[in-house]
Structures are given as structure tokens and as C-alpha cells.
Amino acid sequence: MHFARFCLAFLIAASFCAAEDSSPTFNRDIAPIIFQNCSACHHPKGSGPFSLLDYPSVAKRARQIAEVTEDRFMPPWKPDSGYGPELMHSRRLDDDAIHLLAKWYESGAPEGDEPLAMDPPAFKDGWQLGEPDLVVTCEIPFMLPAEGKDVFRNLVIPIPLSSPRYVRAVEFKANNPKVVHHAVLQFDRTMVSQLRDQEDPEIGFDGMESSGAVNPDGHFIGWTPGQEPYEVYPGTAWRLDPNTSLVAQLHLLPSGKIEPVIPSIAFYFSDQPPERESFVIRIKSDDIDIPAGKSNYLVEKRFTLPVDVELLRLYPHAHYLGKDLKIFARQPSGKELPLFRIGDWDFNWQSDYRLVEPFSIPAGSDIVMRYLYDNSEDNIRNPNTPPKRVTYGWNSTDEMGEVSLQVLTRSREDMLTLQSGYFSYAIAAEPYNPFIHNNLGYILAEMGRKAEAADAYRKAIELKPDFPVAHNNLGVQYAEANLYSLAAKEFESAIEIAPDYAEAFHNLGSVLLEQGKLDAARREFSSALEIRPELDMTRAMVANIDLSRNDLEPAITNYSVLLNNGYDESNTRIRLASALLAAGKLDEAGPLYDEALKLDPTSADALYGAGVLNFSNKDFEAAYGHFQNLVSHDASSLRGHIQLGRTLIALDRRDEAISVSSQALELAKEQEGNYRRLLIHYKTGTELEVLALALWEGSESPEAKRLYVKAIETVAREGNPQEAEEMARRGRVIFKLDP
């Protein structure tokens, strides 16, 4: 409702309660009320009602304004007072304000003294929440045709992020609000929406089904005229990943001339990840069929809560025939909990509503959506004169009935129970909706119900064979069941449908890696990285393959990128140090091992790597300290015992070296190996002698004699014949070797 008409209605309706004490004036008493209750206007400069307040009587001028201007300045407050929990951003005048306005009106609406005049509020031309952290918009406007029916257009806007961020608020700005009826903001990480955009010759693509785009992590984000920016409930920020597309689904109304549409969306980030997960329950009716002339057509739908929830926000929706929209919860006891009601629905002023405090609804309660519709001539908003039959549909002249409710649960387990129950409920209502089957599959997989999850994905694919996300998800189920050929087939199908589907390339690479096909796996991982360079897990896979094949320079490059990105900081630092160590870059590897040990002094990989580096630098005391720490923290570490034994040999602590090497031999047997596991590392003549002695102590094996002879020969080849002779003398005593 326009500001002047809104204010005038209050004045007339409340005039009967005027008191007889001193009369208020506009600038002293009334202006603060009017200015405060117009804070939701946020008009562009010069277009708001305050540019017209240069006259003595607001009441008189209000009538003039109401007669000549459109109803676009002042959003009314439609929710019924006293029904349901308290809502934020209420624009309803309280009794004291109404009383004061009535007195002012009855006293002739005096302007007041000039020295006491108040300046009207200065509405910002920019963003309501201040300077955004990120603003995205289309590069080219969509040109809305001059004539025709409602247009539902999805504008696909890539979001330029190099690392994940957590979103605490979103603000939508329509460059052409007279043709934008409302907007729904969803997000696509699969690249499907970009492909659909590319297939359409115009900007974006048509329809109300956006395929890969979804609501972000339990939030529904939309815009209608007069709506406040979307701010999350504390502790429920949602994650926005790089290489994600925003899909702005716009409901557009032709104006009689070609109109450019190029909205902007602002993001406000938080450094804090979410503390709690939210979920959106959507209750709707798609079987609406309202006869012409019917004034009280009833639609009632319900969903039974399987767990306790806390309600945070809700968004009711109907079209022009909506009359009385009521949402409540009926508890198992039969008691009715009021949640929300608009007894005088107006399609032009729909909005979502956030509760001041979370509202608890117990498990077993039915959340009920009960809507009345008026398709009679008495409905002044009826688009049809005379009335005609109206059925369910997306156009404004069709009709809809739904409500979205954002809720929290007490635990992750409760959340999964709620989600599986909700998607099963949704499938019962829409059995042929592939997206719901896919969502149910994901939740069942999270609950460990793998076979049921696979069935749900297969059903989604049956209903929509070109559904890349469902193919990918089914492939994951096959891979987890070690059905690698079936998994690869599903990932390949996803890639064929969506060639830019990086996650499917990654998953195909993982399957090939499990099969030991390193070259093929690296190729698929590299394809994923070409599409989405920010996929750190994929980059780590490539680096690990390169390190395992001793292809050190690319491994070093990729590990360096990962470390700069902060990915798996401790392990990445250790792996980078290992690659540098293998490349002989000891000076660069050392500080990385030191940093890793500061982060975790018990890290087996860091202790082992630092010990090997010290051993290579012939700092045997330092190497001994690291290997001793390793075996003390992990008594089953074969590699730790092997290197500790070698270090004791280097320190000329022969008896200790034999004892530790004996322990290493026992570990090798337990781990399905033998002395040859140690032979890979024990290479000098002295090391081979110790290994032979340790092997002899354990079993007096003939292998020990042969190994001792090899030790003597190795010492001789090392150019130390005197030591070889001394070793032979010891062998004749211990092993009864021939002279």
C-alpha cells in the first residue's frame, strides 16, 4: 500500500479513540512515527514520499498523493496480530502510535513550529546492509518482451570465488522492479545450469525447473518488493564454494514495452562455519481446481514431524485468489499451536517472515497448511471478470498454495530422520519427480542405508535419464560397494551428459586409482582440475600419484599450491617435505618437517621424514631422537624400527642395533613379510652384518649365514679388506663358516 493511503487509513480507523488533552503536531510528535514506520521503503533518491512533505497538512496532501501515484512506496504488514510467534521487522503500528495519530488527525493535523521541524530520514541509494563483501550481476541484461504472459526466467551468474566462504546475508537488488514480481535465488555446483544457459540463444533459460540448482544448506532465499535482505539465524551460515553459479529465478511481468532486466546480488560473509544445520520443509498443493464463483475454496495439506524441531522462518505463497492463509501445528494431544496467519492475503505483498525466537514444535505434530481462496466477483483482486475456473499453475492468473518452513533439529541424527521422512512424504505427493528421489537417495546414503539409496538414485535416473547428478551419486554407491566397473559406467554417463561435471571426473579418477590404474586416474583427476582448479582434494590426488611414481617436480608444485590454500595443512606440509627430501632439496624439506612437528609432535610421518633427513645429513643423534620417538608412540611401526636400527649402527651401538633389528624382523613376520622387507633398507656391509645377526638370533636360519657372507663381500667391495677379514673371523665363531 502506498504510504499516504496507509497512513490515511490508520488515521480514519483510529479517529474514534482521540483523547482531549493537548494536540500533537507533525514535526514534534507525528514525524518520528511516520519516519520510523517508513524505514522499509528505501526509495531511490527523490522518488519517496518525503520529497513531497513540503506542505502544511500531511492529511490533505495524503489524499492528493493517493489519487495520482502508484501503490509502490510503503509495504504493508500483512500477518495477523497475535496469531503465532512474534515476527521480526514488524511494520505494525502499536496502540500508542495509533492513539497519537488519531489525536493529531482530529485536531486538524497541524504542521507544528518551524524551529522544531524534523529532517526526513536519508535512505541509502546503495545496499541496506552496508558495503557487501561480493556483488555479482549478469554481464548482459535479459530483454523482457513488451507483451505476453508472465515470464519465468533463470539467469545464471558465475560467482567469482577462489576459496569457500560462509554466507551470513544476501541482498537482492532489481534494476527494474516494476517488472520483477519476485525472485528465488538458488545455487548450482554441477555446471548443469551453465550448460542450459549456453543452449538457450538468449540470456538464461526459461521455466521453473532449474535442474542442478538447489537451495543452499537449508535456506530459502527470495525477494519480493519491500522485503528485508536475507540474514541467517545466528550459527546457521551456509557454505558457498568456488565455481558455483547463482541461478536467479525471476517471475517477470511484461509492461507494454521491452524492458532490460539485470539484477544484482550482494553477499555478506562470515568467518564462522555453521554451528547448526537447518532444513526447509515445503508443504504444497498441486491439485487446486477452483470453480468460477466459489468464494471459500479450501486447500489443506499437512506433514507429520518425525522429530522435535525449532521453527526459524516461513514463507507462505498463493496468487490473486488467495484469501485467508493459515499455518498451524496440531500436536499429538490434539492441541493446536498457532504458527502464522494472513487473514487478508495480497499477492502483491508476499514475503518471507523470520521469527524473533525459535519456536519449538514437538515430534508427532502435524504442520497444517489451511488456505481459503475467493474466486467470486467480490474479490477485488480477482484477475478474471467475470470469474472463470482457475487451476494449479505457475502463471499469476493460475493459482498456487504452499508454505516453506525453515527448521532446526536437536542433533544430526534427528536431522537425517527429518529429511528422510520429508522426502518420502514428498515422493508420495510427487512420485514422478526425479529430484526428490535423488534427494532421498542422498539422505539414505548418509544414514548408511546404501542399498535403499542406490534404489532411489536408479529411480531418479529412470524418471530422468539425462540427470547427471543422479548418475554420479549412483556411481558413488557402486564404488563404495567395490563394484568399480558399474561405478565407472555411471560416472562416464554423468560426464557425457554434463562435460563440465568436475566431481564426476574426480570420482572416476578415484575408481581407477582403486584399481591401480595410475595413468588413467591421473588423467581424470587432471580433467577435473582443468574445470575446477580450486578442487584441493583432486589436486592432492594428482600430487600423491606423482610422488608415488617419483615424478617429484609436479608433485612439489601441486603440494606447494595446496599448502598455500591451507588444505589439510599438516599432511600437505609433510608430503611436500617428503617430495623435497626425495629430490635432494634437504634445506627446503627441513623447516617443513619442523613446522609439522610443532603442529603435531607425535606425527608418525613427520617423525619418520625428519629422522630420514637427519640421517641423510649424518646428524645421527637427531635422527635417533626422531626414530626413538616414533617407535615409542607406535610400537608396531616397522619403518620406525628399521630406521632406528640403522641409526644405532651408525652410532656404533651394535648390541642395541641387533635388538631393534630383531624387533623389526618380528614386526615384518606379523605384517606378512620376512627379512627381505628390511633388506631393502639395510645395504652397507655393517648394516647387513647386523641384520644377519638379528636373523640368526631369532631362528638360526640358513638365510642368516648367506646374508652374513653377503655382508663380508659388501665390506670388501667397499674397499675395507681389513674389516672384511675381521668380519669373517666373527662369522667363523658365530656361524661356523668355513675359513
Q: Which of 475, 492, 513 is the last residue of a domain?
A: 513
Query: What is the spatial distance between Cα 554 and Cα 211, in angstroms, rounded to a whole number?
Result: 37
Q: Rounded to whole angstroms, what are the CA distances from 116 to 26, 29, 101, 107? A: 10, 10, 18, 18
In a domain, 227, yes or no: yes
Residues 407, 310: contact at Cβ < 8 Å? yes
Task: Name the domain count of the chain.
Answer: 4
Q: Residue 413 pLDDT > 90, yes or no?
A: yes
Amino acid 117: pLDDT: 67
pLDDT digits (tens, 9 = 90+) for 257-277: 999 999 999 999 999 999 989
pLDDT digits (tens, 9 = 90+) for 9-53: 444 333 333 333 456 655 556 655 555 555 444 433 333 333 333
In a domain, 121, yes or no: no
Query: What is the spatial distance between Cα 565 and Cα 145, in angstroms, rounded to a whole number?
Result: 46
507 and 530 inside one domain:
no
Residues 208, 394: contact at Cβ < 8 Å? yes
414 and 531 inside one domain:
no
Amino acid 71: pLDDT: 38
Give the residue from 157, 156, 260 showing the smallest Cα distance to 210.
Answer: 156
What range defines the domain where residue 642 resides? Answer: 521-734
pLDDT digits (tens, 9 = 90+) for 611-667: 999 999 999 999 999 999 999 999 999 999 999 999 999 999 999 999 999 999 999
pLDDT digits (tens, 9 = 90+) for 50-104: 333 333 344 443 433 333 333 334 568 899 988 999 999 888 777 787 778 778 8
In a domain, 497, yes or no: yes
306 and 439 inside one domain:
yes
154 and 109 inside one domain:
no
In a domain, 254, yes or no: yes
Q: Which of 513, 543, 565 is the last residue of a domain?
A: 513
User: Does a cis peptide bond (omega within 30 degrees of 0) precede residue 386?
Assistant: yes
Residue with grid cell 563394484, as numbered in its chain: 483
297 and 253 inside one domain:
no
623 and 663 inside one domain:
yes
Amino acid 373: pLDDT: 98
Buried/exposed code over 613-626 (b: 16+ C-beta within 10 A; e: otherwise): bbbeeeebebbbbb
In a domain, 128, yes or no: no
110 and 155 inside one domain:
no
Q: How far from each other are the two terminal CA atoms of the chain, in whole angstroms?
A: 113
Q: Which of 275, 293, 315 is the last residue of a domain?
A: 275
In a domain, 367, yes or no: yes
Question: For helices 586-599 and 604-616, what crossing angle results, to 10°?
Answer: 150
In a domain, 545, yes or no: yes
Q: Residue 382 pLDDT > 60, yes or no?
A: yes
In a domain, 127, yes or no: no
157 and 228 inside one domain:
yes
Angle at 735 between CA 729 and CA 738, to 5 degrees: 60
595 and 491 inside one domain:
no
CATH of the domain at 726: 1.25.40.10
DSSP string, 386-433: S---EEB-SSTTSB-EEEEEEEE-SSHHHHHHHHHHHHHHHHHH-TT-
270 and 285 inside one domain:
no
635 and 709 inside one domain:
yes
167 and 250 inside one domain:
yes
Query: What is the spatial distance between Cα 634 and Cα 678, in angstroms, rounded to a whole number?
Result: 18
Q: What is the strand order of the sheet 309-318 is part of?
A: 278-285, 401-408, 309-318, 353-361
CATH of the domain at 249: 2.60.120.310
